[in-house]
Chains A and B, each alone.
Chain A
Amino acid sequence: MTDPVIVASDLGRRFGETVAVSQLELTVQAGEVFGFLGHNGAGKTTTIRMLNGILTPTTGSARVLGLDPMVDGTQLRSRTGVLTETPSLDERLTGRDNLTIYADLYRVPKDEVQARVDELLTGFDLIDRADDKAGGYSKGMKQRLALARTLLHKPEILFLDEPTSGLDPVAARQVHEMILQTTRQQGHTVFLCTHNLVEAQRLCDRVGVMEHGKLVALGSPRDLARQLVTNLTVDFEVDASSVPGALQALTAGGVTASAGQQAGTILVSGAAREQIPDQVSLLVNAGIRIYGVTPQEPTLEDVYFALHGEEPVQHNQAEVIQ
């Protein structure tokens, strides 16, 4: 176990009547990719602002890299990088100017600025357009430039506020690779706000789900799925000839079951994890020989909808359409 780099306790912020964030308790470890999920207005951006000492909390406190953001904000911000929700670039400046000015603001050693800027422009595939105004860049290029800007000073924690929203799949993948590179190679921490569940599942070691300013779930995508998703789909593999008998046994036991597409498979849906052994016994007691039991791993999407009390689109429906 490494040291926590972000600790929030009872952290909260209200704007007049609106409670943007309330009683947030959160710990993020060094080197972790932490996903911060939630609907529009759930309080993600507000949290990033408080953790970087640019917005005063109305309750509670935080420590980031061992510093109090409201006291040592300047020092803290020299060690964090934040990709804001809108790229926040100076569109009237060239890509290169956008970076060199921020290199000065982030105190990149003077004699390293040019090399660092060129390295990032090259790394983010912007070098050919480096001397054009950023206002003329495509959305993906703007996002890459903004990302390059957050990496100028090699931040120990990278806060990314919806880094791939509006990007095409290729551009989004580049961003994902950059995130993995930052954490896996440099051991840096990433705090990733996103609506994109596939992205969170692919990248995050742990996720927190925010709803109306409150953290409603916290854990690894897999653990959350186990805890929260109560309507698992389980594949049972049996003899092709014993499928009707198996279905009968299960249905008699009050289990919703149907024959799978492949011969000799049965799909049980709407099951909680704890019910699987009982379903196995139902079959065994009916004299059915079982060759395999495979619970389909629920996705973060299932978790999300479980939390919000809505049905996700069934995965196997999609398969039938194909």
Chain B
Amino acid sequence: MNWRAIQALMRKDLKVVVQNKGVIVPIILLPLILFIVIPALVLFIPSATASANSTDLAQLLAMVAPGLRDQLVGLTPDQAGVVFFLVYMMAPLFLIVPLMVSNVIAADSFVGERERKTLEALLYTPTTDGELLAGKILSALVPAVVVSLVGYLIYTVTADLAAAQIIGRALFPNPLWNVLVLWVAPAAAGLGLTSMMLVSVRAKTFQDAYQTGSLVVLPIVLLLIGQITGVLYFNIWLTLALGLVLWIIDAVLLFYGRRTFHRSELIARL
């Protein structure tokens, strides 16, 4: 592997991608809402959670998985609501960040590149197919992981401010979220990327790819619903297992994506 070439490819992709509003707006907006706006709402409008009124909240909490209910023992309903919301409900939502960041960047890098007709010159360079692919993979994964890590740091501060106010202690960092951020989030970024590699074979434009690609958040929505309806909840074991499943899916999709990523096929599909 020629590391210099891979770095050059990343530099190119990232310089280009930051100029695509379709990529940058969601990358900034989503973490802003999740990591700043939501904790701020919890903090400044405590009634927002409470005014969903205590009976609704109690009903919701009555539904959650027994293991999760045990975590909330000894808290007032309002406090339980804050823990449930900031720690457990936000966990699947958090995963949307790496998933979506890698997904939109990969859409720009794999499909946008072809749409802008800049792929051909790249194929004529003395890089191997593996190096080209590595450059594109890293261009999508590195920002996704960085945004998740920075997002977690910010969320730790903002969510703890809210938690300190309402339950009188910090909730973050905690082992569950450490596993989520360090183990599951990179796998989620991988899923955003590898699913886009498959979409890119057919998609003609960045917009097409973006729309089809965003379907990949559906499994996350299922996790969220599962948790609200008490089918499952994010404990450490589930989180570790979720990460493992995602990594396996990534490996399988990468294997298929790699098979179509050959110069001769890319140029013939141009």
Contact = CB atoms under 8 A, between A and B. Distances in A.
A162 to B, nearest CB: 14
Interface in A100-116: 101-102, 104-107, 110
Given A101-B8, A101-B12, A107-B4, A149 B268 contact: no
Contact of B267 (A55, A86, A102, A104): A55
A53 B262 CA distance: 11
Interface in A70-119: 73-78, 80, 82, 84, 86, 88-93, 97, 101-102, 104-107, 110
A220 interface: no
Given A101-B11, A105-B9, A74 B117 contact: no
A76 B119 CA distance: 19
A254 to B, nearest CB: 55
A291 interface: no
A82 B123 CA distance: 10
B16 A104 contact: no
A15 B9 CA distance: 30
Given A54-B264, A54-B267, A107-B4, A90 B124 contact: no
B116 A91 contact: yes
A102 to B, nearest CB: 7
Most chain B Cβ neighbours within 10 Å, of A54, A88, A149? A54
A8 B119 CA distance: 26
B205 interface: no
Contacts of B268: 15, 55
Interface stretch (B73-81, B125-133, B160-168): B125-133
Most buried by A among B15, B16, B19, B124: B124
A56 interface: yes
A273 interface: no
Interface residues of B, number: 28
Given A92-B16, A101-B12, A107 B126 contact: yes
B127 A104 contact: no
A165 to B, nearest CB: 15
A145 to B, nearest CB: 11
A311 to B, nearest CB: 37
B5 A86 contact: no
Interface string B205-244: 0000000000000000000000000000000000000000
B126 A54 contact: no
A105 B118 CA distance: 14
A63 interface: no
Given A84-B120, A88-B118, A89-B118, A106 B16 contact: no
A104 B124 contact: no
A49 interface: yes
Contacts of B121: 82, 84, 88-89, 102, 146, 149
Contacts of B178: none
Contacts of A102: 8, 121, 125
A167 B123 CA distance: 25
Given A90-B118, A93-B12, A104 B126 contact: no
A37 B5 CA distance: 35
A61 to B, nearest CB: 15
A77 B127 CA distance: 8
Interface of B: 2, 4-5, 7-9, 11-12, 15-16, 19, 116-128, 263-264, 267-268
Interface of A: 15, 49, 52-56, 73-78, 80, 82, 84, 86, 88-93, 97, 101-102, 104-107, 110, 146, 149
* The 10 residue pairs across chains A and B that have the minimum distance between CB atoms: A104-B8, A78-B126, A88-B121, A77-B126, A105-B125, A56-B264, A82-B124, A54-B263, A92-B19, A54-B123
